Amino acid sequence: MSTVRTAFTDRISPMSALAVAVVAVSTSAILVRASHAPPVVEAFYRVLFMTATVAPFVRPHVPAVRELSRRDRLVVVGSGVALATHFVAWFTSIELTSIAASTVLVQTQPVFVAFGAWLLLDEPPNKYVTAGIGVALAGATLMPLSSLLGADLVGADPLLGDALAVLGALAGASYVLAGRSVRQSLALVPYTTLVYGVCTVTLLGVVLAAGHPLFAYAPREWALFLAMALVPGFFGHTVVNWVLEHVESSVVSVALLGEPVGSAILALLVFTEYPGPATVVGGLVVLSGIYVTTRGREKPA
């Protein structure tokens, strides 16, 4: 396996792979908006198909999975539920507000990770992270405020959509924080498979509780479900996980700030969706804050 991975690394530039991953994740909001299925159904099939792509590789790690402590198993369950919350909140947000606003606000996840690490893990932020959090939160406040004042009213309910995007960021941060301890004793593939599995079961429960049909969808919808898993899922997030083994995490985190930009451009081309001036300005402020936060976490306290 290591020989194969070495050969793959020799043939594929990690930075080129990172560029492909950024483009791939930028399609996520576009695919969600293009689908007419309920957001929770979209989330369920995306995660189900993502699980199917990683599960075949988990067998060599079964002994390590069996040795997980009760605490770690509970953490995995909590992480999977948090991931399910992230997908449902964000996918619903995309239906209610502009793609530009939704993707920028859900990208505030690193800010909440830094804040959560301070509150829960006793990892106080340095001055750079503190400044970045402040800037990002200021921009995040500006974006829904513009909708409240009657500007940038893109979407069926932009205020609710913006709030759900922030909830998606909070849930995503919870997923990251919950998994930190388990990832120290469990490799990426088994951890991802377990969390995706819990997430899939959670979403299935929500779909059934809401009374949504599981199979009554047109071929176009099934193609979109599969595309959500393969393009932003496999070629996006899975490739990012591979790149993290070869490139500094700060570089990857900053590169992923290109997702909202790419999504906004695609929304303009595909849906002729023009974000308003306040959304653009607020989004740039948020991205600046995320950039400062991300780079600041690499600096000494």
Q: How confident is the model at residue 250 (pLDDT cuts 50, 70, 90)?
A: low
Residue 11 included in any domain = no
239 is a domain residue: yes
Question: Do residues 263 and 26 make contact, with C-beta atoms less than 8 angstroms apart?
Answer: yes
Domain that holds residue 229: 24-296
Structurally, the chain folds into a number of domains equal to 1
Tokens of 60: 């060599």
Residue 297: which pLDDT band, with cuts at 50, 70 and 90? low
Q: How many CB atoms lie within 10 A of CB 202?
A: 22
Q: Give every CB contact of residue 227 below 8 A, 6+ residues apart in sequence.
A: 27, 31
Range scoring the smallest mean pLDDT among 50-54, 100-104, 151-155, 291-295: 151-155
Residue owning tokens 């590789």 = 57
Domain-embedded: residue 301: no
| Cα–Cα distance, 110 to 196 (Å, whole number) | 21
Structure tokens of 295?
Answer: 């780079």
Q: Is residue 13 part of a domain?
A: no
Residue 1 reports pLDDT greater than 50 = no
Q: Taking the mean position of all CA atoms in its chain, how far away is CA 292?
A: 19
pLDDT on residue 147: 59
Stretch (H or E) spanning 285: helix 277-296
d(CA 185, CA 193): 15
The residues, any chain, with a CB within 8 Å of residue 288's CB and separated by 6 or more, are 135, 136, 139
pLDDT of 28-41, one tens digit each? 999 999 999 999 99
What mean pLDDT is predicted for residues 161-166? Answer: 93
Q: What is the pLDDT of residues 49-96, one digit of tens each?
A: 999 988 888 888 899 889 889 999 999 999 999 999 999 999 999 999
User: What per-residue confidence (pLDDT) applies to 157?
Assistant: 86
Structural domain includes residue 4: no
Looking at per-residue pLDDT, the higher value among 245 and 213 belongs to 213
- Is 6 domain-assigned? no
Provide the mean pLDDT of the chain.
86
- Angstrom distances, CA of residue 292 to CA of 51, 103, 228, 264, 283: 33, 18, 30, 22, 14
Check residues 297 and 56 and name the one with the higher pLDDT: 56
Helix boundaries (H) for 59-210: 62-66, 70-96, 99-106, 109-120, 127-148, 158-183, 188-210
Long-range contacts (CB closer than 8 Å, 24 or more residues apart) made by 113-120: 113/173, 113/176, 113/177, 114/293, 114/297, 115/173, 116/173, 116/174, 116/177, 117/177, 120/177
Identity of the highest mean pLDDT range in 43-52, 66-75, 103-112, 229-238? 43-52
In-domain check, residue 7: no
Whether the pLDDT of residue 185 is over 70: the answer is yes
How confident is the model at residue 7, as a pLDDT? 47
The more confidently predicted of residues 154 and 12 is 12
| Domain assignment of residue 228, yes or no | yes
